[in-house]
Amino acid sequence: MFIDHKRKFVFLGIPRTGTTSVYSALRSTIHDGTYTGKHDMQPPPECADYAIVACVRNPYSREVSHYLYRHTKKDNALYPWAKKWTFKDYIDWSTQTQRPPHDFHDKPQSVHLAKVRVTYLMRFENLERMFNEWPIAQELNMTLPRRNAKLRGQPWYHYYDANTARKVAHWAKNDFVNMATT
């Protein structure tokens, strides 16, 4: 979470939605802002009247991004197991109903945003354009750097079969409905 008390906004970073790039732009431009941790999701009470800004991503694409991260990045806790997983294995694990409470990275986006009212929602698929249209970015003449682009593989739809697509559709149904992430 990044808080700017001067401009009265809070940026919430949902994992795998382009937040590393947004955080980088914010932290390099707004030097008096408060960075509380990359994926803190509950703004403090003193920010109750602040604008809430967040990013979302197509859940199918987001799950592929999670899989590639879990499968290839040695700095994540699941790597010893995930490096052996197929995409189907990952989806079977990711869409389980019983998950450890601390495992927040792979939760549906609607779970991350359930307790906040988002004022400005940027979509990963149009992140650069939406970031550039954001009044704060315009006011401060911010540019959005590209981060984490190394994880790209095939287009997201190449990873899915009918079963894995159905599981993600069911698991992330509120993301599709509530945030129009189609």
pTM over 0.75: yes
pLDDT at 76: 76
Write down the pLDDT at residue 3. 97
| CB atoms closer than 10 angstroms to residue 45 | 6
Contacts of 81 (CB under 8 A, 6+ apart): none
Question: What pLDDT is recorded for position 71?
Answer: 82
Domain ranges of the chain: 2-178
The amino acid sitting at 134 is W
pLDDT tens digits, residue range 78-126? Answer: 778 888 889 999 999 888 766 555 566 778 898 888 889 999 999 999 9
The band of 182, judged by pLDDT with boundaries at 50, 70 and 90, is very low
pLDDT in tens, 38-76: 778 889 999 999 999 999 999 999 999 989 888 888 877
Pick the CATH number of 2-178 from 3.40.50.300, 3.40.50.2300, 3.40.50.720, 1.10.1040.10: 3.40.50.300
Instruction: Answer for the pair 144, 21: CB distance below 8 angstroms, yes or no.
Output: yes
- The whole-number pLDDT of residue 152 equals 63
The per-residue pLDDT for range 128-162, each reduced to its tens digit, is 999 999 999 999 999 998 766 555 668 899 999 99
Edge-to-edge, what's the strand order for the sheet holding 34-35?
34-35, 2-4, 9-12, 51-56, 120-123
